[in-house]
Amino acid sequence: MNKIEKFVYDILKHNPKLKLAIRNQYQRIFDLLPTPLPVSAYEISARQGYFFGFHDHTPFSGDNKKLLAHRYNIPLRIPQLGENIEIGYFDGDNFQEFHPITFSKAWSWHLGAKLQWRGSSNQVVFNDHENDKNISRIVDIETKEDIRMPEEIGSVSPDGQWAVGYSFSRVEKCMPGYGYPYTVNDPEKDVAIPERHGIHRINLDNRDTQLLFSISDIAKMEPNQNMQGAYHFFSHIVFSPDSKRFIFLHRWIVNSVYNRYSRMVSSDINGKDIYIFPTINMVSHIGWQDDNHVIAYSRVPKYDDQYVVFQDQAKEIYQIIGEDVFNSDGHPSFDPTKRWIVTDTYPDRRRIQNLIVYDTKEEKRYDIAKLPMPKCFQSKTPFAHWTCDLHPRWDREGRYICFDSTYTGTRSLCTIDLGSDLNKNTIEYLNIQNSRNKPDRAEKNQ
């Protein structure tokens, strides 16, 4: 965003419905100009007709030789009840050979079926819908063993022992496009602060399931005034690298889905030692840097919306990341060395999405690709949310960046091979002022 756009955004961000309407009109003006060409400092491998989903889990297997993917076969619209998504993985040279595994009925454009590897094994875990219930499954890609779990999952622990989750049907009611649209047997679906909905934990070895705490339990902790009369839910849950803790978002809507508030919470694997992070009504995208630090695009005391690295369980310890070079939301994650962040931007006035690598040691931003999103992929309302965010993710070694994109005109699963550039601190990036068509190195960060 330029300074004028940021000024308008800051005025409108507390009125999301008006902000969305003005954004749509603003972009339509620039649609009269020729469509910008995609530019990238690295070659992009685009697998058209495939995608992965959210940014908070890596699609790469433990040995870094397989790449998880969803393959879709419906037109650009919200998935309808009973429509399948195919689940599989790529391997081979540059991950070009696709191997189908199975299908799922529980998926969305943004999160897919929450497809994840189970630790370093050849088992994949994902959500499904069977017999009027949202469940999860574990499928071994070698033996074909297929195990049903009694509840849906949001995150699988890196050691492969546990999964934690929440109600995706409740999420769909509050954030259409991020849950599953099925009607399930839920006596508390209309209860604003339920006692039986919350975070559940599944032992993936024996299927034992336990409710760790309820939404009501968390809503009672350090309550905000605007929680009164609101409808509460949980979303965006992620395990720490050591599998001992997890973070998630406690969210609530006031009167409509346009008025949503969030805070970030952490807990140990047993649902104890719960910690409320010092955010102020807004947290969007989160991830772990290491076992003790979390990155989140959020609002904190004395700072407006920023990328922030928090120390878990230490309220006064947090650091603003890239204050001078980031002024908009994105989907951040740290590479395996915990030094480099990959993130993105939402479509700007020309519908361009930036793919960005940020060096936290040298405090430098590198824009490595600028990719146009066709107008048809822009969600006009929160109730028809089929847009395609880049949602970038690292591989296990810091060599590949995987992301979803529509720059080809089709939703595609993309990868960029950085080679050894991170280790050599020689990141290629764009100098757009020199050329809009041919990527070039710049002498300094733009």
Output the 3-class SS for 303-325.
EEEEEEEEECCCCCCEEEECCCC
User: Which two tokens mark 33?
Assistant: 């100009």
pTM to 2 decimals?
Answer: 0.93
pLDDT at site 220 = 97
CA distance 376 to 364: 34
Interstrand relation of 393-394 and 400-405 (parallel, antiparallel or unpaired): antiparallel
Measured N-to-C along each axis, helices 3-12 and 16-30 cross at an angle, to the nearest 10 degrees, of: 150
pLDDT at site 427 = 95
pLDDT at site 438 = 35
Which amino acid would we find at residue 124? Answer: V
Asked whether 131 and 148 are in contact (CB, 8 A), the reply is no
pLDDT at site 431 = 78
pLDDT at site 432 = 56
In terms of C-beta distances under 8 Å and separation of at least 24 residues, what long-range contacts does 379-383 make, across chains too? 379/177, 380/24, 381/20, 382/20, 382/175, 382/176, 382/177, 382/257, 382/258, 383/176, 383/257
Low pLDDT (below 70) residues in the chain: 432-446
